[in-house]
Chain A
């Protein structure tokens, strides 16, 4: 099927410029093509690398089960075949909405009929510790390669932050036989992400597999030692010696390049409507930096999960195509979902966590669990360790707005 098949007088399909060559940008571009978009597509990325997948980086790439090169999504030939132009290694530095152009750091200007902002987020660094050798963050392909190199001869690793990324890095290092100390500033890890009770259960995995978790351990800085080691200085005056540090204390959306472009941002996120449209005409945003109005939950949210990015990329591509054909866009009503693999266990959250939680499956003496979060009289979300099938059934219930009692009964019978 052809977008311009209706007649030879139809205008050429407009060019789409996708800024950000990671998961969201790539999937927007490939979805446009698979849906039949025939105009020019250009994918802009600040890193020199072809688009790559991040989930394996903190897991199989660190353990050595996969090579960094295994993370690439597609070959250069794929982009040629698909007619997707690549501009890698030069970041976008601005949008001129009047001229409908996107300016790159190397001076190039790309005209767009529609544009997609998919510049994602970068890892938050530890103030004062930037630039110290063997002090890492875990976000990019280069980060993973550097951490892996550090782990090869490290006796002890300190992980700053017991969130999901930090915990995955800790688990991968343990798999390699490296001693691990995880420093968490809060008294209970993951409380905001999954609630205090579930967070406690996740945190217990560290001890079970020989990593030491210290709660309430704020980090003041990192010092290089004369012998080549590192000393992580704690807020309470203590110190932890190690050979390498990985900092996992969250991410910052990459929105600075939009300053002055007229794209509305709020609290560091790009503000989108329910169709993922930004405040500029025909400019959409997807992924970690997009704060959109989710009709399913009746509230604005920003989600940093892999599947949300994929689903938003598909939704944005569909809307670009529909609007270009004179059709109405469709709202994006995704249900947040993520998974994390740690110490051989599969952790999953679907929906929204809260402190109002019921454990429906919790066999004694093992990490496995299935927990349901209540949201008024509705099911608000679910969390599982090693209960993939049941958790995914809960996702189905969430998608259709099931009541909490119904979900509880259903889950108890699984």
Chain B
């Protein structure tokens, strides 16, 4: 199964990922971090995860193919 992770040291909480892939990423209520709701990706969410990785302004998202 594919997996996704965020490098929190790099993440600036732009929120792009939460917009592109709301089923996978969520911005914490206090804007302090991005929470990964689904670290392990079902097939139907892999495209969303890849799109989020592309749109991340600081390239903090890595998608590991299954």
- A residues near B (Cβ < 8 Å) are 27, 31, 55, 306-307, 310-311, 314, 337, 339, 341, 346, 348, 350, 386-389, 391-393, 395-396, 399
Q: Which one of B1-9, B18-26, B36-44 is at the interface?
A: B18-26
Main secondary structure of the interface of B (DSSP, over half): loop
Most buried by B among A350, A386, A393, A399: A393
Cβ distance B64 to chain A, nearest Cβ, rounded Å: 15
Shortest C-beta distance, A248 to chain B (Å), equals 20
- The reply to whether A392 and B31 form a contact with Cβ atoms under 8 Å apart is no
| 10 interchain residue pairs of minimum CB distance | A389-B27, A392-B15, A392-B19, A395-B19, A388-B15, A388-B31, A392-B18, A388-B27, A396-B19, A388-B13
Task: For the complex, give the distance between the alpha carbons of A395 and B22 in Å.
Answer: 11
Smallest distance from the beta carbon of B66 to chain A beta carbons, Å? 17
Which of B13, B29, B57 is close to A306, meaning CB atoms less than 8 Å apart? B57
Beyond the given A27-B54, A389-B15, A392-B19, please list 18 additional residue pairs across the A-B interface where CB-CB is below 8 A: A31-B54, A306-B57, A307-B16, A307-B55, A310-B57, A314-B54, A339-B14, A386-B31, A387-B31, A388-B13, A388-B31, A389-B26, A389-B27, A389-B31, A392-B18, A392-B22, A392-B27, A396-B22
Collect the chain A residues with CB atoms within 8 Å of residue B18's CB: 388-389, 392-393
Q: Which of B12, B16, B29, B57 contacts A392 (CB 8 A)?
A: B16
Q: Range of interface residues on chain B?
A: 10 to 19
Chain A interface mostly: helix
Name B15's contact: one of A310, A314, A391 (CB within 8 Å).
A391
Across-interface contacts of B28 in A (CB, < 8 A): 389
Check if B55 sits within 8 Å of A55, measured CB to CB: no
Q: Which residues of B contact A392 (CB under 8 A)?
A: 15-16, 18-19, 22, 27
Which residues of chain B are within 8 angstroms of A348 by Cβ–Cβ distance? 15
Q: How far is the CB of A363 from chain B (nearest CB, A)?
A: 13
Q: Are A311 and B55 in contact (CB under 8 A)?
A: yes
Question: Can you list 27 A-B pairs, Cβ within 8 angstroms, ordered by A?
Answer: A27-B54, A55-B57, A306-B57, A307-B16, A307-B57, A310-B55, A310-B57, A339-B14, A346-B31, A350-B19, A388-B13, A388-B14, A388-B27, A389-B15, A389-B18, A389-B26, A389-B27, A389-B28, A391-B15, A392-B15, A392-B16, A392-B19, A392-B22, A393-B18, A393-B22, A396-B19, A399-B19
